[in-house]
Amino acid sequence: MKALEFRRNVPRFAAARLAGSLTPGRGASVGPLHLADLDPPTAPGPDWVRVRPRLSGICGSDLATIDGRSARYFEPFVSFPFVPGHEVVGDLDDGTRVVLEPVLGCVSRNLDPTCDPCATGQLGNCENTTFGDLEPGIQTGSCHDTGGGWATAFSAHPSQLHPVDGSFSDESAVMVEPTACAVHAALVADVPDGAIVTVLGAGTLGLLTIAALRTFAKPRTVVATARYPSQRRLAAELGADLVVEPDGIRRAVRRATGSRAVSIAGDDGAVDRLSGGTDVVVDCVGSSASLTDAMAITRPRGRIVLVGMPASVSLELTPLWHREIELVGAYTYGTETLPDGSTARTFDLAAGLVRAADLGRLVSATYPLHRYRDALEHAAAAGRRGAVKVAFDLRDEKEREALMEMSK
Amino acid sequence: MSNGHLAPRPGFVLDVDRSSPPVLFHHGEGFRLEKLPADRTRVIYPAEPLEGLADPDGAIRSALLNPLGDSEPLPALLHSGMKLTIAFDDISLPLPPMRRPDIRQRVIEAVLDLAAEAGVDDVHLIAALAIHRRMTENELRHAVGDRVYDAFAPSGRLYNHDAEDPDGMVVLGQTPHGEDVQFSKRAAESDLVVYVNINLVAMDGGHKSTATGLSGYTGLRHHHNVHTMLNSRSFMDQENSALHASNWRMGKVLRDADVKIFQVETTVNNNTFGREGPMSVLQKREWEWSPKDRAGFLAMQQGLKLMPSAAKRKVFSSWLAPYELTSVQAGEVEAVHEVTTANVYKQQLVPVEGQTDVLTMGLPYICPYNVNSIMNPILVMCLGLGYFFNLYRGKPLVREGGVLIMGHPTPWEFHPVHHPSYIDFFEQVLADTTDPAEIEKKWEKQFAEDEWYKHLYRTSYAYHGAHPFYMWYWGAHALQHLGRVIIVGGDTAAVRRMGFQPASTLQDALEMSTDVVGPQPTITHLKNPPILMADVT
């Protein structure tokens, strides 16, 4: 079968890091990722099924991996070689169309009893992603045994699969996984009613987080940063009240919150930080710059939710200490407790939001697997090129049918 | 040029033909020489500088002793035990700042001499800056002179007006139009207010000196708004200015509230760049440039090209105009202002027949709100579409639906101390809309009431939060009148942010203008500064 495989190859990894630093997405051309003809996946266990992807999205974390920017933190949590791809809508051999919930928790690893997070539905917090019957891998797309979505087939545990309503387009369905991340972030943010929330970044995750905040919280004002015109337009459409360029966020939040600016040089009109600030920041970038902005604009005892994958950052933590700011992460999804006390699977909430806000429209471009270099460069430059989500389209891959025949 | 022996020549309109030399366009801290199309272009040149008064101090004293209108001579209004306030125009006048001694210094010293003779010892001097930025010590010293500054400032009797001081402002009443008349409490409680003005353009002076200069946002919002600007045609023409009318109504309220004002108004000539020296070429007509002028100009151009922006700004900011006093009149406000306006017109008014399809202008490095500062994009808009466009009487120089082409580098750059609210206005408000009415409705109040802007206005050197709005409204009439605005040589992103079209060269801009006004349009170039006002029939 055809797949994009990522091998452990230190020289190529270094080359990808260099190329990716010059041109985002260029790591695909020189790095460890390559188009391979692999044997069809072998089921890791008796319950496992084969999924033939229809659309498979490219995520920011994928791009970080391809360009060699991932934190070394993840090294124990992956098993080489692996096939990336965790935002997937695909077909089972019986024809059922499914969306993948890619986290590989205790159940898929055949561990009994499960860890406490898995027992309470917090799959993203599973403590056993390097143990059990599977090779290490926090998700499908980083585990050697399961394969991943950037292939004509991979293996999935039934607990990972959500059947898709026939009224859902493939484009909508492939947006469910990233939307689930955003829904989780919006709920982790724990936004007080009437609060002012700031979302940093208007890539896919930032835009979806704005939509999720508008659906699952009751903020008075949502301020957002967006670098490009199409992002600004979409951020406003999805619920941001004020959208500014990243450089202008301190001034914008100062105005929105009625704070005063504090300048290192005194009353010189510069805005180094704010006297008060926004109640909550959801940082969908995860860079040193965005976190520094977040610290500058969050009110005392406010909250910063880190959604964008940060890798290594350099950060002045004095404001965190001095202003008693809370810094929390928001990773993937599982089971959510809603403000009314009820619980729900994040994927179910996300599917509802995708439908209500027509988020399938955010799929801007699709590529066949063999054009992976173009696809990854497009995804890495999505904002600048007026795109949001870029995905691989495997619906016309000839091998899909061949695999189907083999299964018969 | 006038050399003191020949009578200064009036302004005039040149019809450009094939033999006409390129015309000098101001272009921020630089210049451009532009060849204008022959046979369909005219250039309006300002008048040469009128002769200055031979004895300015004598003329000032004479004016104080021989007032106009229903006013007693100043000495008769001064007595021991009285409360006297002397208010004076701020850093926005004149432009560029003038060489020492500043006219304000001459007048204030004369007034103080008379006050001392009368035994007046409760005297306050206030820079009547409304919601402009505060003046620095150096700027105040330049305006009033070291002797006055040292005598009054250390004891807190010479200071900047503070329109946001809750204990320092009062509302004296309303006009029949429902306009609040907000005023400096010190001035309102004084037995006499002497106002010292420099009347650079026809909009200045009269009741506007006090009703605007000593007011605050509560009062200003009644005439510094879109409606007023759209009904001021132009705001430089008192007979047809809603801005003027509103200030005159407020002046009546001041009078009815027993605020006694003794107005001293002065006019200067057009000697902006000097009759001799490196800058004098800027007020000469191009065909009269001598070989020395040409060489000097080319050397200046080359030198400027090599300089970074900050250095150029410093060089231009250091220029002090050798303005000469052409008239001084004192007494009752309206009687004084009538004579002042006639004297302004005498220097600046140029008769022009008919309108044009395309109006061009080269914008200089300075406007009223960037003295010792940066001409940011909003101020470029205000200078071009506000001040220069409105320098007409009768009808606009350009026809309705016509095109305005103005040249200026228009940098996306702001002075963080002077213009903090401008930065937010440019990056947030103009990103939302450029429509003055919508801006006024949606954004003005929150900027005007912003506590940080108030804090910076009161304690630092920042323009008030409402000020960038007023700058945008200043261009409202032009925006409504024009079919297109093109900026030549500006920062493309900044120009587009304002809703205008960028062009690299004047030729490109003229080509672009044909989309709006058709081929072979008539063109008029407003050659300003030195300042001229077109009397369009």
Q: How many angstroms away from the CA of B336 is the closest CA of chain A?
A: 40
Shortest Cα–Cα distance, A342 to chain B (Å): 40
Contact A255 B427 (CB under 8 A): no
pLDDT at A30: 84
Residue B43 has pLDDT above 90, yes or no: yes
How much is the ipTM here?
Answer: 0.80
The closest of A187, A174, A189, A182 to A216, measured between CA atoms, is A187
Selecting from B420, B431, B451 the residue whose C-beta is nearest the C-beta of A269 gives B420
Mean pLDDT, range B395-408, rounded to an integer: 98
Q: Considering only alpha carbons, which residue of chain A is nearest residue B463?
A: A269
B220 pLDDT tier (thresholds 50, 70, 90): very high
CA distance B145 to B126: 14
B417 to chain A, any CB pair closer than 8 A? The answer is yes
How far is A289 from chain B, CA to nearest CA, in Å? 20
Rounded to a whole number of angstroms, the distance from the CA of B465 to the nearest CA of chain A is 11
% helix / strand / coil in chain B, to the nearest 5? 40, 20, 40
Which candidate, A390, A403, A355, places its Cα nearest to that of A164?
A: A355
CB nearest A244 (choices: B418, B420, B428): B428
> What is the rounded CA–CA span in Å between residue B164 and residue B23?
46
3-state secondary structure B451-507: HHHHHHHHHCCCCCCCHHHHHHHHCHHHHHHCCEEEEECCCHHHHHHCCCEEECCHH
DSSP B425: I
Min Cα–Cα distance to chain B from A265, Å: 11
Nearest CA in chain A to B456: A267
A260 interfaces chain B, CB cutoff of 8 Å = yes
Q: Count how many residues are written for chain B.
A: 537
Cα-Cα-Cα-Cα torsion B446, B448, B451, B454, nearest 10 degrees, comes to 170
CB contact under 8 A, B428 and A269: no
The pLDDT mean for chain A works out to 94
Kindly report the average pLDDT of chain B as a whole number.
97
Which residue among A245, A252, A269 sits closest to B416, beta carbon to beta carbon?
A269
Beta strands in A259-306 (DSSP E): 261-262, 273-274, 278-283, 298-306
Instruction: Tell me: pLDDT of B2 over 80.
Output: no
- Are the C-beta atoms of B243 and B228 separated by less than 8 Å? yes
- Mean pLDDT over residues A169-175, rounded? 98
Provide CB contacts within 8 A for B220, sequence distance 6+.
Answer: B130, B131, B182, B212, B466, B470
Residues B271 and B49 sit within 8 Å (Cβ to Cβ): yes
How close A237 gets to chain B, by Cα (Å)?
A: 14
Per-residue pLDDT tens digits for B172-207? 999 999 999 999 999 999 999 999 999 999 999 999
Span A249-288, pLDDT tens digits: 999 999 999 999 998 887 788 899 999 999 999 999 999 9
Query: In chain A, what residues touch B451 (CB-CB under 8 Å)?
Result: 258, 260
Residue B72 to residues A326, B63, B259, B327: CA-CA distances in angstroms? 71, 11, 15, 20
Phi and psi of B160, rounded to 5°? -85, 140
Instruction: State the count of interchain CB pairs (< 8 A) between A and B.
Output: 48
In this prediction, residue A408 carries a pLDDT of 59
For an interface test with B, give the residue of A244, A251, A262 to mutate (most B CBs within 10 A): A251
Q: Do residues B130 and B163 make contact, with C-beta atoms less than 8 angstroms apart? A: yes
CA dihedral B480, B483, B489, B490 (to 10 degrees): 40
Model confidence pLDDT, tens digit, residues B416-425: 999 999 999 9
pLDDT of A404 > 90? The answer is: no
d(CA B383, CA A67): 50
pLDDT of residue B165: 98
Please indicate whether residue B246 or residue A165 has the higher confidence score (pLDDT). B246
Q: What integer is the mean pLDDT of B332-347?
A: 98
* Residue B233 contacts A, CB cutoff 8 Å: no
The verdict on A248 touching B (C-beta cutoff 8 Å) is yes
Entry pTM: 0.88
**Which chain A residue lies closest to B452 (C-alpha atoms)?**
A260
Q: What confidence tens digit (pLDDT) does each residue in A213-257 have?
A: 999 999 999 999 999 999 999 999 999 999 999 999 999 999 999
CB atoms within 10 A of CB A17: 16
